Amino acid sequence: MSYPQDIRSIYGTQLDELRKQGIFKEERAIFSPQNADIEVEFPIGSAQKKEINMCANNYLGLSSHPDVIKAAHEGLDSRGYGMSSVRFICGTQDIHKTLEHRLTEFLGTEDTILFPSCMDANAGVFEAVLTEQDVMIADRLVHASIVDGMRLCKAHQDTYKHSDMAHLEDKLKLHQDKRVRLIITDGSFSMDGDLAKLDKIVELAEKYNAMVFVDDSHASGFIGKTGRGTHEHCGVVGKIDIITTTLGKALGGASGGCVSGRKEIVEMCRQKGRPYLFSNTVAPVVVSGALAVLDIISKTTERRDKLERNTAFWRKGLTEAGLIIKDGETPIVPVMLFNAKLSQDFAKTLYDDGIYAVGFFFPVVPKGQARIRTQLSAGHEIHHLEKALAAFTNAGKKFGILGKTKQEIIDMYGM
Amino acid sequence: MENVKDIVLDYVKQEYLEDGDDREIKYDTALITGGFVDSFSMVSLKVFLETKYNISIPDDKATPEAFDSVNNIVDLLKGFGVN
């Protein structure tokens, strides 16, 4: 082993630079299950503090649901802790096949394959199904895991302006010489909380002979009348060729992801998807918990309905308080602050007031678009949201931004 | 006839400015470090140049530095005989 001082200093300098730029990430330690009420230590080593969590992807509040925990225990007892194998050697249990079948039914597709995460699904799917004869045409705001997956694939790449259908049409016309055109979008965009226009995208796909890929990680379980996702919301169930999604958000929040869609494409992933082939199977305990989640949300829409009511309450409350939020209807509600430092200071003030939310700024979001991203959960009760609204209002007063326009906030704090 | 510099500038404005974005882009404006173009959407600029001028720009030439201004892009194109 050789790790001399000059090598150590290469990394030390880079880390110092991140600190200087104010973009060094620090973890917060949570001492409780994931819930609306959590106990947090931040910075790690400081006193623990009770906080209302406004930034989890726990949209349906199922991460710590007793039925899910019970099913996970039963899975642990009956199928063990781990499989010590990838899927195709000796890592496939009956419950993995059952979960794939249940996800296929839930999403309204032809077939499904599990991956260790949706990051892995996105990293593997393009390379498994496309070649240099094909083209991937992506919305410019797709998730980073899609960008990485596209970079691993030999197919041509192009992009279109965020949700701009005229621009997408131009690109589809431009690439008519390719064998396969794949339109790539998130269903619900994770930073802005808006939904892809999947009905329009499907129309264009049919007109220009293209396939459609949707990452529905921030939608599966709660968007659409019965929570099937953005394709249900837009009335195009059965018309999306490839859906990737995660079990790590609304669907129990543990880990795991999948590619669901046309059966030949799913089979290509089983034969050639590298993260599927070379990474461990999803643990039995997680699979068992996920099956219980599907049971819960297939029986009743109660939780997604409550989430919808919470979202409406929260969006209305923030707007009436005089804060600027991104328009939309999803439980991802960005409170716009525009200035990076303001977003950090605002988040710190909220934390001191018992509200846990995180500020995002460049390069996670474009320059001048810093924000606090809030996320609602069916685990929130109205009293949680009332307390959070009071804290946001107090912070807004403290920084003098209530009722101010975007330009006025920028004039006060800069971009 | 429009020169290469203006063709590239027009494309960049049309491709990367959203409706209502009144920021000015000139020949020497920093496109990537200035926040107009990110490393992901830069691929569209490469597709445009390759299609328009019937050239193939290898990945080692299609760097963020080479694409960081209209002037830099024009210099890059000169290497492919596009003037």
Of A270, A205, A271, residue with least CA distance to A241: A205
Cross-chain residue pair A140–B40, CB shorter than 8 Å: yes
A190 is annotated as an active-site residue: yes
Mutate which of A126, A136, A154, A161 to test chain B, going by most B C-beta atoms within 10 A? A161
pLDDT at A24: 84
Neighbours of A78 (CB within 10 A): 11
Mean pLDDT taken over chain A? 96
Where, residue-wise, is CATH 3.90.1150.10 in chain A? 32-61+302-413
The domain tally of chain B equals 1
> pLDDT tens digits for A296-322?
999 999 999 999 999 999 999 999 999
**What is the pTM for the complete model shown?**
0.95
ipTM of predicted complex? 0.88
> pLDDT tens digits for A159-199?
999 999 999 999 999 999 999 999 999 999 999 999 999 99
Cross-chain residue pair A158–B43, CB shorter than 8 Å: yes
CATH number of the domain enclosing B44? 1.10.1200.10
SS3 A40: strand
pLDDT at B23: 84
A249 is annotated as an active-site residue: yes
Locate all alpha helices (DSSP H) within A109-181, ordered by sequence. Answer: 118-129, 144-151, 165-174
Contacts of B44 in chain A (CB under 8 A): 158-159, 171
Catalytic residue (one of A249, A306, A380, A384): A249
Select A66-299's CATH number: 3.40.50.300, 3.40.1390.10, 3.30.70.260, 3.40.640.10. Answer: 3.40.640.10
Residue B52 maps to a domain: yes
pLDDT at B6: 94
Residue A150: closest C-alpha in chain B: B40
Among candidates A159, A362, A368 on the partner chain, residue whose Cβ is nearest the Cβ of B44: A159
Phi, psi of A295 (to 5 degrees): -60, -50
Low-confidence ranges of chain B (pLDDT < 70): 1
Q: Chain A closest CA to B51's CA: distance in Å?
A: 9
Cross-chain residue pair B44–A158, CB shorter than 8 Å: yes
pLDDT at A17: 93
Where, residue-wise, is CATH 3.40.640.10 in chain A? 66-299
Residue B83 maps to a domain: no
Cross-chain residue pair B47–A147, CB shorter than 8 Å: no
Instruction: Evaluate whether B35 touches A362 at the Cβ level (below 8 Å).
Output: yes
d(CA A53, CA B63): 41
Range of the domain at B62: 4-16+24-78
> pLDDT tens digits for A57-70?
999 999 999 999 99
The CATH H-level superfamily of A32-61+302-413 is Aspartate Aminotransferase, domain 1 (3.90.1150.10)
Q: Chain A closest CA to B43's CA: distance in Å?
A: 6
Residue A139: closest C-alpha in chain B: B41
